[in-house]
Amino acid sequence: EAGVAQSPRYKIIEKRQSVAFWCNPISGHATLYWYQQILGQGPKLLIQFQNNGVVDDSQLPKDRFSAERLKGVDSTLKIQPAKLEDSAVYLCASSPLFREQFFGPGTRLTVL
Amino acid sequence: AQTVTQSQPEMSVQEAETVTLSCTYDTSESDYYLFWYKQPPSRQMILVIRQEAYKQQNATENRFSVNFQKAAKSFSLKISDSQLGDAAMYFCAYRSGSQGGSEKLVFGKGTKLTVNP
């Protein structure tokens, strides 16, 4: 069974630029999550989708972050414009309903 | 809001020895799940073990076991016969058991485990 795929693995941008991350969950998983992991901290949920609907985006900085999950499969997370404090690893995870979450390898973002 | 605290930023253990990682949490809910995740340097988070709050019996997965003390809100991880491959960041995480809402994991800050040969 293929795992959660993410791309790119690394991204370096300058502040005020835009960036997008892509996630392909495990086939058949209804729920998809984006987490932000700042160096030295545990991951923090940004947004949770169930199929293509948003369940929880309470910690998503909506003035600069946006996410979508078209057709209830792949998802894209966008940041525009990026700030220095957005430097982090962005983790995507997926799960069947009410089951354990499986994580992807993450995208390491550096904002200069 | 739920919080998870890991008070040991770093731990080390000799190969083949036993080590215990600590975790405490705070919640007002009665139905929840607790997890230990392992994150090796490659960054892919892997589930090590899970515990349902309604179960009194401590979970065990091969060399990994937990000591779940519900009243004390404590959830420690014991690794027996430590191996070099156990070296990683270990995160304790909480998830609400109520269905229909957010299934987010609330993580602690992690404990870096070093295994010495």
pLDDT higher than 90, residue B107: yes
Collect the ranges in chain A with pLDDT lower than 50: none
Pick from A40, A98, A103: CB nearest B45: A103
pLDDT band with cut points at 50, 70 and 90 for residue B100? low
Pick from A44, A56, A102: CB nearest B102: A56
Better pLDDT: B29 or B110: B110
- Beta carbons of A56 and B91 less than 8 Å apart: no
| Strand blocks (E) in chain B | 3-5, 10-14, 19-21, 24-26, 32-39, 46-52, 60-61, 64-69, 74-79, 88-96, 106-107, 111-116
| Confidence at residue A72, expressed as pLDDT on a 0 to 100 scale | 82
B111: which strand partners? B90
Distances (CA, A) of B32 to A5, A92, A98, B23: 28, 22, 12, 15
- Beta carbons of B105 and A48 less than 8 Å apart: no
DSSP, res B72: T
Pick from B43, B101, B110: CB nearest A105: B43
| Confidence at residue A99, expressed as pLDDT on a 0 to 100 scale | 80
pLDDT higher than 80, residue B98: no
CA–CA min distance A40, chain B (Å): 7
Residue A86, classed as helix, strand or coil, is helix
- Residue A92 · residue A32 · CB < 8 Å: yes
- Average pLDDT for chain B: 94
Better pLDDT: A20 or B1: A20
pLDDT higher than 90, residue B80: yes
Q: In angstroms, rounded to a whole number, what is the distance separating the alpha carbons of residues B3 and B96?
A: 12
pLDDT higher than 70, residue B39: yes
Give yes or no for B35 touching A (CB within 8 A). Answer: yes
